[in-house]
Amino acid sequence: MLPSDLKSEMFAGYAVEARKIVTAHLPTLRQMPLSVLPGLLRELISFDFKFPAERKARERELDYLGSLSQAQLKECFHDFSEIRLSRQLEEFEWVKLPGQFVERLSAQLWSTHQLDAFRKASSDYADRLRAAVPPEPPPIPRLGISVIGQGVTSYGEPLFRKLRPHGAYFSGIKPENGLRQLLDAVAVRAKAHPLSYGHWYIDGGEAFACEPVLACVSYEGLAGARAALLRKMQEQIEQPGMGPEALRSFLAQLRPADLGMERQGADEVLHRFEVSVLTEGSGTQIFSTVFAQWAAREALRRAQPVTMLVRFAPRQRQKPMNELLSASAKAPAEVDVIGSLVDGDFAAYYNWLNQQRLVGAEQSSFLVWFEGHSQALAIGPTMARGTESRSAADLQQVLGWMS
């Protein structure tokens, strides 16, 4: 089936809001090439459970496309139209299973050497969209905070190496009550500028008490869901004929209730986000540092928050082969605090990079702190790049200088 054959009744299986937006824009969707439309449907099929920023972006995109003439639409998607697709892809149930179609499309793009052409078409389309429908600036400058190194008593190697050229390094931070100061600062911002999913606190361990004005996600808070997920994955792996693609398809269909997350009055949007972090992220189920980094990446990309506090906690130690072979293989997992610090240090750099990809980057600020220690680094329009301060200061003061 091709996009030109689309009919509104084909979307009967979509949730209410998803069905509404798709049918409202059906004439536009019918004119899109098959190489690109299922990618859009993959986003729209879960429209009911998207963050406000994502919904708005999709609505604006579709409104823009709807404003184009037939000839303009054809020109807009010309490069995508040049992508050659197999008959199997055309015959696939891409309306019902757009995510699986995209997986198959990706494999075909690689094997037919069309990936570069597709990448260029995607990039050109994104540029065009950005020019035509510029993203709206945030209501207040964004603030990102990463807290790394929980549990490390001493560390002699230099930290924040990737970030130092971009900001001011502080080596005289007074660490007392540092975490409390950061959490309070985040809560104050959230209360002063209430925004749905605009202020986040992600913890790679057990979260401190979470203010209702924050979107809170924690690794320990999802312990039950993680265990349920790993059990389900194990069951699937043991099925005859199970391969990576089939496992991915299985994971993509999991919902919060499948992992025991359904609660009365629960936040379905946030729960779906948590499930996606665990099912789409590689390593998020087993390493807390990876969980925190990937959750932050996805939250920044999707919810585009104005405040993001990420605290990294020690992850379990990866056992070397000789231990796996020995009697200690079944011993409880230990934690690797130094490895986690290294993970967190690099992940903080990724948190900053991902924040800077959002609109308003030139006004955004970022702070990373070695928890319980005197080292921090602050980046922002008011902070001199590549500088160092040894003066004594607490984190509240540093945040004040950044704002």
Partner 1 sequence: MEVPEQSRRDLVRRALRNGASDREVSHVLARTRRDFLREAAGVAVGSALLRPVWARAAAPRTKRKVVVVTFGGGARDQETFMQEGQENIPHLMRELIPRASFFTQVVNRGILGHYVATASLATGVYETFNNFAAVSPESPTVFEYFRKDLKRPSSDAWVVAPSNGFNRIGESSHRSYGSGLGARVILPKRLLSAATSGSSHNYQHLLRDNYETPYYAPELAGSEFELQQLEMLLKLSVDDFKSYAQTLTSPDELSVYIARQLMRQVAPSLLWITLHDIDVAHAGAYSLYIEGIRRTDRLCSELWQAIQEEPEYAGETTLFILPDFGRDSDEDAGGNGFQHHRTGDVLSRTTWMLASGPGIRENVVFDRAVDSRDLVPTLGAILGFHASLAQGKPVGEVL
H helix or E strand, kind and range, residue 199: strand 199-203
CA distances from 104 to 38, 120, 281, 346 (A): 11, 19, 19, 32
**Residue selected from 8, 67, 111, 249 as contacting partner 1 according to rule CB under 8 A:** 111
Query: In angstroms, what is the minimal distance from the CB of 287 to partner 1?
Result: 5
Beta bridge partners of residue 216, listed in sequence order: 201
Measured over the CA atoms of residue 194, residue 197, residue 202 and residue 206, the dihedral's sign is positive
361 binds partner 1 (CB under 8 A): no
**Residue selected from 276, 340, 364, 389 as contacting partner 1 according to rule CB under 8 A:** 340
243 binds partner 1 (CB under 8 A): yes
Report the amino acid identity of residue 144.
G
> Cα-flanking dihedrals φ and ψ of residue 275, to 5°?
-65, -40
Among residues 81, 79, 82, the alpha carbon closest in space to that of 121 is found at 79
Q: Which is nearer to partner 1, 7 or 110 (CB)?
A: 110
Q: Which is nearer to partner 1, 152 or 188 (CB)?
A: 152
**Residue selected from 296, 299, 347, 383 as contacting partner 1 according to rule CB under 8 A:** 347
Query: In angstroms, what is the minimal distance from the CB of 66 to partner 1?
Result: 26
231 binds partner 1 (CB under 8 A): no
244 binds partner 1 (CB under 8 A): yes
357 binds partner 1 (CB under 8 A): yes
91 binds partner 1 (CB under 8 A): no
286 binds partner 1 (CB under 8 A): yes
Query: In angstroms, what is the minimal distance from the CB of 16 to partner 1?
Result: 31
Contact 315, 287 (CB under 8 A): yes
115 binds partner 1 (CB under 8 A): yes
And the tokens for 113? 């050497």
284 binds partner 1 (CB under 8 A): yes
Q: Which is nearer to partner 1, 237 or 257 (CB)?
A: 237
Beta bridge partners of residue 276, listed in sequence order: none
36 binds partner 1 (CB under 8 A): no
338 binds partner 1 (CB under 8 A): yes
242 binds partner 1 (CB under 8 A): yes
Contact 284, 152 (CB under 8 A): no
Helices 288-303 and 268-280 pack at an angle, to 10 degrees, of 130
C-alpha to C-alpha distance for 90 and 1, rounded to whole angstroms: 6
Contact 103, 248 (CB under 8 A): yes
Query: In angstroms, what is the minimal distance from the CB of 87 to partner 1?
Result: 17
54 binds partner 1 (CB under 8 A): no
100 binds partner 1 (CB under 8 A): no
**Residue selected from 336, 368, 371, 380 as contacting partner 1 according to rule CB under 8 A:** 336
What 3-state class would DSSP assign to 327? helix
Scanning 80-88, 133-141, 185-193, 285-293 for contacts with partner 1 by CB under 8 A, the matching segment is: 285-293
Query: In angstroms, what is the minimal distance from the CB of 112 to partner 1?
Result: 8
Q: Could you tell me which residues come within 8 angstroms of residue 322 by beta carbon, excluding any fewer than 6 positions away?
A: none
Q: Which is nearer to partner 1, 16 or 327 (CB)?
A: 327
Report the amino acid identity of residue 135.
P
Pairing of strands 199-203, 215-218: parallel
**Residue selected from 325, 331, 361, 384 as contacting partner 1 according to rule CB under 8 A:** 325
Measured over the CA atoms of residue 358, residue 385, residue 200 and residue 360, the dihedral's sign is negative
Measured over the CA atoms of residue 75, residue 76, residue 79 and residue 81, the dihedral's sign is negative
Name the residues that contact partner 1, by CB under 8 A.
107, 110-113, 115-116, 119, 161, 165, 233-234, 237, 242-245, 247, 281-284, 286-287, 289-290, 293-294, 297, 301, 315, 318, 320-322, 324-327, 329, 336, 338-340, 342-343, 345-347, 349-350, 353-354, 357
